[in-house]
Structure 1
Amino acid sequence: MSRSLSLAAYLAYARRTGKPGVAPDMPRPEGPLIWAHAVDAARADTLVHLAERLAQQRPGAHMVLTTSGPAPERLKAGGPVIWQPLPEDSIPAAEAFLDYWTPDIVLWTGGDLKPALLISADKADIPRYLVDADEPLLERPAWRWFPDMPRAVLGGFVTILARSEAAARVLRRYGAPESIVTVTGPFQEGTMALPYTHAEREELASLLRSRPIWLGAMIQVAELDTLLSAHRDTSRLAHRSLLIIVPDDLEDSPAIREVLDAQGWRYVVWSEGELPTETTQVILADTRGEMGLWYRLSPITFMGSSLVSGQYGRDPNEPAAHGSAILYGPNVGRYLNRYSRYAEAGAARIVRDTGTLAAAVQRLIAPDQAATMAHAAWDVASKGAAVTDSILDLLLDRLDLLEAKR
């Protein structure tokens, strides 16, 4: 059998054996639509973030996001992302999906390429992009039986962004044109710097001078005893230490004040306009929309909602984007991939109780220790943001080109 017939044989098989699938239960939104596929939960979260940024810059743009598993947890009702299960890799299923959604662009992440789906997009004249191409996800045993298939599938992409040089070598070995492959590093969600009031930051920095500061962000009442015990232990080593507490739920502020009063802490309440003095031990930052201020003031952040069971953690990208070292508890299931990424880079450290939290804070109040972790956190966050920016630019440029042709 010739090389050209092998691909034709696969596609013929994919046409005979496939079924159209179940029709979606929602209409296609008006305006530009990207079909994006995520091979895992981490990439799904990153694509949701990308869609939110795309919608900010191109109002009315939407993304239909497919996964082989369940819908991402962070999807927002009424947001720019519509989740759908990935159609089976057959011609009838691909044609039914593309006819219904009529996407303007296909954005495929990682690998695990589906030939019938992707080549059907070519036949529908839909430009497609492969981003975050990852070496282990590109190897497909079936390709040995259809040797011309990888060349046809990879050659149909407008651009391929590879996660590593190793991935780029695999792509070239399978026949991807050199001209369309670029090594960018991993596609990981980053976070834009949060707003803050410069004058407030300068005033507080002057009042606090060189005091050791650490932040407890998104704290549950059930975590408060651990947090305060760790702060008391730290204060014995560094008596000028200051803890900033941001409740996860502002309605918990009265309960937090009761605990602070009962334990005899000297504290100020930010929502009441109180400013810290030299003897203040705790700031209760019970307002919303000012995390940019607290992250900038605090070289160390403990991300709360992570010590007690039943919680799932909060987003570590926020402190990382502001150059803060990250501490976190074991219950971060919703953001596990992100915490793992920062931990592997030496930018985050897990704590489990008062002793481990106090030990971590005491180590990090040495400026060089916190600075090392904070720099690593910022480096990871900024690299992820740079790749996201480049992908966003690709999408916007292509949408501009498509709009100009209409």
Structure 2
Amino acid sequence: MTMPHNAVDIWLHAASAADISATLALYERLLQQDDFDIVLSCGDDIVLDHLGVAGDDYFGRIPEQWTAQKLVRDHRPKELIWIGSKVHANTILAVRSKLDHMVLANIDADAIPQRRIKFIPMPLERALRSFSDIFCADGDTAARLHMLNISDERIHPVGSLQSQTSVPALLGDPDEFNVLKGRPMWSAVSVHREELAAILTTHRLIMRESHRSLLLLSPASAKDEEQFWQTCQDYGLTTARRLDDDMPEARTQVFLADSNDEMARWLSLSPVAFLGGSLISVGKGCNPLPAASLGCAILYGPNIKNHLSTYSNLAGVGAARIIQDSDSLASAVLDSSAPEQAAKMGCAAWEFVTRGAEATEAIYATITRNLKGEP
């Protein structure tokens, strides 16, 4: 049979918007060393510009099995990589006979049916059994899969595939802020203007318990720096500003950093970090993995649509904690700043990142082995 001119090796599918970051990490990993042709799709509506991939590589949303059948017919992929817990059983069952291999990653235990009808398996059970390899986060998830009569050799409890986890670069003189060592401090990075009042109110509450505490404050946008500076003055907070080459002094209560240019520096200085874009109603959150890779205890608000699974997984291992308002944020900062608790959360964050990198490599090895016909 003649292959279509746009035939691909891999169909890479993000089950939901929350799985996009992990999917793109694997997409970039596959393109680093191998000349694979890849088509991407998603279970949710995603704006192409947000993906950072070539237009020809993006098929679009797969809302139902008919769309999936069209993708398979048009692109003839050899292998499907389905990332996320939203496994559409009818879609998988409709295309499985047309694919050489199917790999599932980032499936959660809660997404696996616990009860099975003995003689008439549910469609989801049949779909899960169709995957040649299933990569899951832990032994509990693996045990549930095993209960569906999926053989152990097809189940790999290696951790969750994650978005890019490279440790952010520390710019400038690494000893420039040695004067701050030993001082209690916390950071709030990628903060939006709508979140600023809550952050400054939180710092006031913290200083009632820890009067020497310093807030390292980094706005999400450079154009907001002047407004942040003025608002800090309005709150009566003694503020030094990176833009003016100020250095924090003993009486400094807030250090207003550059936007995100030196985020790694501020994260490395503080044991506890609040990640912005998560307290505003239209917020979608920012990637928590740079903070996790630097061993920070992570605090975040409820609006984290773009990175929901990553935050949830970090919270699950004790590396992150959700807050709702200034009072709960102040309490979380004080609790998490205790040396033993900060070390515990920071260590959990680092181990999570390391395990995620190992999961990425394990999935990558399986994909390439399948495509190259290696045993």
Q: What's the TM-score bracket when you normalise by the shorter of the two chains?
A: 0.7 to 0.9
- 1:242 alignment partner, one of 203, 211, 214: 214
- 1:64 alignment partner, one of 33, 40, 43: 40
Partner SS for 1:200: coil
TM-score w.r.t. length of structure 1: 0.75
- Asked if 1 retains the 8 angstrom alpha-carbon contact of 2:17 and 2:305, the reply is no
- Give how far 1:236 is off: 3.3
Partners of 2:260 and 2:35 in 1: CA distance: 26
| Pair 1:326-2:298 in alignment | yes
Question: Structure 1 residues 244-253 or 166-175, which shifts more?
Answer: 166-175
Partner SS for 2:321: strand
Q: 1:352 to 1:248 in 2, by over 3 A?
A: same
- 1:378 alignment partner, one of 350, 355, 362: 350
- 2:308 alignment partner, one of 336, 341, 366: 336
Letter in 2 for 1:131: A
Summarize the alignment of residues 4-403 of structure 1 with structure 2, pairs less than 5 Å apart.
33-58=9-34, 62-67=38-43, 69-71=44-46, 75-76=50-51, 78-79=53-54, 82-86=58-62, 89=65, 96-109=70-83, 110=85, 111-113=87-89, 114-121=92-99, 126-132=100-106, 137=111, 144-145=119-120, 154=129, 157=132, 159-165=133-139, 168=142, 176=150, 178-189=152-163, 191-197=165-171, 200-204=173-177, 206-398=178-370, 401=372
- Asked if 1 retains the 8 angstrom alpha-carbon contact of 2:221 and 2:259, the reply is no
Q: 1:169 to 1:260 in 2, by over 3 A?
A: closer
Letter in 2 for 1:119: S
Task: Report the number of matched residues.
Answer: 364
Partners of 1:134 and 1:61 in 2: CA distance: 28
What whole-Å deviation, never above 9, does each CA across 1:246-304 have from its counterpart, x for those lacking one?
10111001111112233443332223333323332222112443212111111111112
- Asked if 2 retains the 8 angstrom alpha-carbon contact of 1:218 and 1:249, the reply is yes
- Asked if 2 retains the 8 angstrom alpha-carbon contact of 1:45 and 1:72, the reply is no
- Give how far 1:62 is off: 3.5
Q: 1:145 to 1:106 in 2, by over 3 A?
A: same
Q: 1:345 to 1:129 in 2, by over 3 A?
A: closer
What whole-Å deviation, never above 9, does each CA across 1:188-217 have from its counterpart, x for those lacking one?
4462211113x623331x211200111011
Letter in 1 for 2:333: V
- Asked if 2 retains the 8 angstrom alpha-carbon contact of 1:189 and 1:388, the reply is no
Report percent identity of matched pairs: 29
Partner SS for 2:188: strand
Partners of 2:163 and 2:328 in 1: CA distance: 29
Q: Which residue of 2 aligns with 1:14?
A: none
What whole-Å deviation, never above 9, does each CA across 1:53-91 have from its counterpart, x for those lacking one?
333444775442242x4347884254485143438557x
- Give how far 1:241 is off: 1.4
- Asked if 1 retains the 8 angstrom alpha-carbon contact of 2:190 and 2:260, the reply is no
- Asked if 1 retains the 8 angstrom alpha-carbon contact of 2:10 and 2:38, the reply is yes
- Give how far 1:96 is off: 4.5
Partner SS for 2:344: helix
- Give how far 1:326 is off: 1.5
- Asked if 2 retains the 8 angstrom alpha-carbon contact of 1:325 and 1:348, the reply is yes
What whole-Å deviation, never above 9, does each CA across 1:160-195 have from its counterpart, x for those lacking one?
434444554565666655544433234444622111
Partner SS for 1:346: coil
- Asked if 2 retains the 8 angstrom alpha-carbon contact of 1:155 and 1:177, the reply is no
RMSD: 3.7
Q: 1:280 to 1:33 in 2, by over 3 A?
A: farther
Letter in 2 for 1:34: I
Letter in 2 for 1:116: A
Partners of 2:19 and 2:143 in 1: CA distance: 22
Letter in 2 for 1:184: V
Q: 1:386 to 1:308 in 2, by over 3 A?
A: same
- Give how far 1:132 is off: 4.0
What whole-Å deviation, never above 9, does each CA across 1:9-46 have from its counterpart, x for those lacking one?
xxxxxxxxxxxxxxxxxx9869x652023444433442
Partner SS for 2:58: strand
- Asked if 2 retains the 8 angstrom alpha-carbon contact of 1:151 and 1:176, the reply is no
Structure 2: gaps of 5 or more residues: none
Partner SS for 2:173: helix
Task: Select the structure of larger CA radius of gyration.
Answer: 1
Q: 1:395 to 1:265 in 2, by over 3 A?
A: same
TM-score w.r.t. length of structure 2: 0.80
